[in-house]
Each structure stands twice: as structure tokens, then as C-alpha cells.
Amino acid sequence: MTTAPSAPRAPRTSIALPGPRAPMTPRALAASTAPVTSIPSATSMTSTAPAAPAAPAARGVPLGRADVEAAAARIAGHVRRTPLLAGPAGPELPRAGRRLLLKAEHLQHSGSFKLRGAANAVLALGARRIVTGSSGNHGIALARLAAPLGAEVTVVLAGGAHPAKIAVIKALGGRTVRVPGGVAERDARARELAEETGAVLIPSSDHELVVAGQGTVGLEILAEAPDAETVYVPTGGGGLLAGVCLAAYGHPVRVVGVEPAGTPRYARSLAAGHPVRLAPGDTVADGLRGQQPGAVPYPIIRDRVDDLITVSDAQILDAAALLRRRGFEAEPSGAVALAGAIRAGRGTGLAVAVISGGNTKTALMTAAAAGPPSRTHRTA
């Protein structure tokens, strides 16, 4: 029988946890070798009002669950309420007796959860000229939204962006700009273009409206599985993890962020007690190559996340292969949370892993061929 959690959970002021669950010890981070440098003071963030250049102007009021609920109402006609599907079991999942569900965001319109945050920002701002920096999925989401709204979108991409994702953005009517370097250089160029053209900058994760929109994933999970013990969330820029943290305020569910081992920006930052910037890293999870925490997501994650774990590229690819065997078309970034759930392998209660994206090569080819939706298009 499914029962609701017996006691609400209050927001915490630190990530310190009792007993063996305490995250981010030096031992837990020893396996990661990504080079780290402190973020320069010009982009440093405080515990009260982060003010990095990449972040939008702060509204002076902390984000809360109410913002996520408002986002859910705003985007309802533009996104799909994705199902919770049965996950691997038995020999495919360690620790017999563990129950695992998969939040199927790979079935989302645009192929990933990114549509939620993009829709919330575009609709709330009434933007008609948009600039963003993206690894691909956020750019696809914005381009898909822009077509029926008559908006223009320019997407700045770093050198490692997937060619098939670039092709989809163009097929949807978006303009693309390539820059050398990593995510930091990409986002800096996006800010410059927005200032030069007067367009609205909608970052892929470091924006209050984007974070609130991504949090609707968490609202849906907790509405359908109120007895969930743990939710595993893939973590790149941090928008999805921060959004799920917002949705989980007042709920006892454990929120666990899962990062690629080569780019553990949030794990390193929380261990250091302040945001740090990593050198550009490489991972098969091309959507999770961020170099530093966002000013908006960082304090939310710091105050609510229960744990952060890393997974290797081999573990990510194994999880993606497992999903394919079960009929799920997930890109490597989309399989990261499942890889984390398999690696954690603890607890006998219900766990949920967010399958965040399904923009595989085949899916991208289909999307590129389909082109943009009509101006009268509304999703359901």
C-alpha cells in the first residue's frame, strides 16, 4: 500500500548529514581528478544574494515551491506530463527488493526536460528575441517554442556541441553561433550577444524562471509517488537539481544529484564551501559539461540536496545500454541518474531516477526532418 510520508521536511541550512549519509567528504571526492580553480571574486557567490555575471538580476525574494507551482500552471499547455515507468529490477539492479521508477522526460516534447524551464521563461517574459548558450537540448527547446510564438532564437554553442543537435536547432528555425572553448566561453558570448542586440538572455540553467520550470519535474514525481524515498537527478548546470530541491521542500524525500566523474562542479563546490570553477572537462554526457555552479541554483542545492555522487563514462554508457534493452531511447546525459541509482545501490524503499533526455542520433534525425511546429501548435 502506498502511504504518504509521515512528517514534513524543513529546509536545511547546510548539507551536513548524520552518520554514513554525510556527503562530500574528501574521501568521497578523492576519485575525481578534474582540475579546479576558485571562481574569481568578480563571479563569487554568497550564501544570501549570489551575484555572478551569468545570473539574471535577483528579484530579492528567494525562490520557493510556490514558484514551481506557478510555473506548472503557466506551462501546462506547452509541455507533456511525462509518466513514471517501471525501472530495472532483479539482476539488472543491485540489492534485491529495491523498487525503482523512471521519470520519462526523454518522452518530453523537444526530447528533454529542458522544455519546461524554457517555456516558463519565454512565457513569463513575453520574449520575442532570445539569446542563449546551450549544449543543445536547451537550444532545441527554445527553438521549438519560438516557432509557434513567432519569436527569434540565437543559440551559442561551444566546440563540443553535438552536430545533430545543431542541425535540429537550425531545422526549427533557430540561428546558431559556434565559439571555441568550453561552457564558460559559450555563456560569456551569449551574454555579449544579448547586450549587443537587445535580445532577452535565457540561460540554460542559471535563471530563476528556468529553475522554477525545471522544478515541475519534481512536483510531478512527488504527486505520483509521494512515498518515494530517494530521487536521483542528473546534474550539469544545476537547474534541474535546484528545481527538484524546490519542489521537495517540506517533503522527507532524499534528493541526490548525480554528476559525471569528469565534471563534478557541484560536489567540489559544496566540499569547498563556495563555488569553484573547473577546467573544461570531457564526458560522454555532453549535456552535463558545465564548469561552475550557477548563481541561482547553487544556494538552493547547497541548502536542500542530500548527497552528490559521481559516475564514470563507463557507468553512464552501461545505464544507457540497460535502458535501450528495456525499450527506452535515452541519450548518455539522460542515463546519468540511472547510473547513479545503480551505483548507490542502497535502501529498500522506492527510488526514482530522472531520465532527462532522449535526443539520440535517431531521434534528432527525426526531429530535424519534421521541422518547426506551426504557429497554432499547442502541445498536450
**Which of 257, 256, 251, 258 shows the shortest CA–CA distance to 225?**
251
Strands 84-86 and 99-104: antiparallel
The DSSP output letter for 257 is E
Please confirm, yes or no, whether 103 is among the known catalytic residues. Answer: no
In whole angstroms, what is the distance from residue 380 CA to residue 232 CA? Answer: 26
Residue 292 CB coordination number (10 Å): 27
Give 50-86 as a DSSP string: ---TTSPPP-SS---HHHHHHHHHHHTTTS--PPEEE
Give how far the C-alpha of residue 320 lies from the chain's centroid of Cα atoms, to the nearest Å. 17
Between CA 368 and CA 356 the distance in angstroms is 20
Which among 32, 114, 205, 269 is annotated as catalytic? 114
Residue 134 is among the residues annotated as catalytic for this protein: no
How would you label 64-98 residue by residue, b for 16+ Cβ within 10 Å and e otherwise? bbebbbbbbebbeebbeebebeebbeeeebeeeeb
**Residue 198: how many other CB atoms lie within 10 Å:** 8
Question: Which residues are 176's β-sheet partners?
Answer: 155
Alpha-carbon span 266 to 263, nearest angstrom: 9
CB contact set of 247 (below 8 Å; sequence gap of 6+)? 65, 68, 215, 216, 217, 218, 219, 221, 222
Catalytic residue among 32, 112, 134, 135: 135
- How many residues are present in the chain? 380
| Ramachandran region, residue 147 (left: φ > 0; alpha: ψ -120 to 50; beta: rest) | alpha
Per the structure block, which three cell numbers stand in for 255?
A: 534528493
Distance CA 113, CA 237 (A): 13
CA distance 146 to 303: 34
> Which residues are designated catalytic?
114, 135
